[in-house]
């Protein structure tokens, strides 16, 4: 099995992104980090545990986030899921200043709800 924290590449139009997934200890949740290539900024999409909100732990595979209310689960290691989250974040204006070296952290659960309700 490969390194789950390695940087992977995703190209959306003319913009290339490097992305990785990791777990923050101490209740920090699962984090999808996207770095815009060519001196761009960083977007961190964070999934913290809350009522009905689950993320990977000893019982789940790494990178899994889900809802106990709906039963929906997303695997943050899948490029299609990453693309969907990136598109949803862009639609909400979260990428506006990432062409520079800006950094932004956003809550992933509203994006999760958008993707899993399609």
Query: Binning pLDDT at 50, 70 and 90, where does residue 53 land?
Result: confident
Which pTM was predicted?
0.89
Residue with tokens 């490969």: 2
DSSP label of 21: E
pLDDT at 1: 44
Contact 29, 47 (CB under 8 A): yes
pLDDT at 27: 66
pLDDT at 31: 93
3-state helix, strand, coil in the chain (%, to 5): 20, 40, 45
């Amino acid at each position: 099995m490969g390194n789950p924290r390695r940087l992977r590449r995703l190209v959306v139009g003319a913009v290339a992104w490097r992305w990785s997934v990791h777990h923050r200890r101490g209740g920090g949740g699962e984090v999808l980090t996207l770095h815009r290539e060519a001196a761009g900024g960083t977007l961190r999409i964070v999934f913290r545990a809350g009522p009905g909100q689950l993320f990977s732990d000893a019982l789940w595979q790494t990178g899994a986030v889900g809802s106990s209310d709906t039963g929906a689960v997303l695997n943050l290691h899948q490029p299609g899921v990453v693309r969907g989250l990136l598109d949803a974040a862009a639609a909400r204006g979260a990428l506006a200043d990432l062409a520079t070296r800006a950094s932004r952290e956003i809550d992933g659960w509203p994006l999760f709800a958008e993707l899993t309700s399609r």
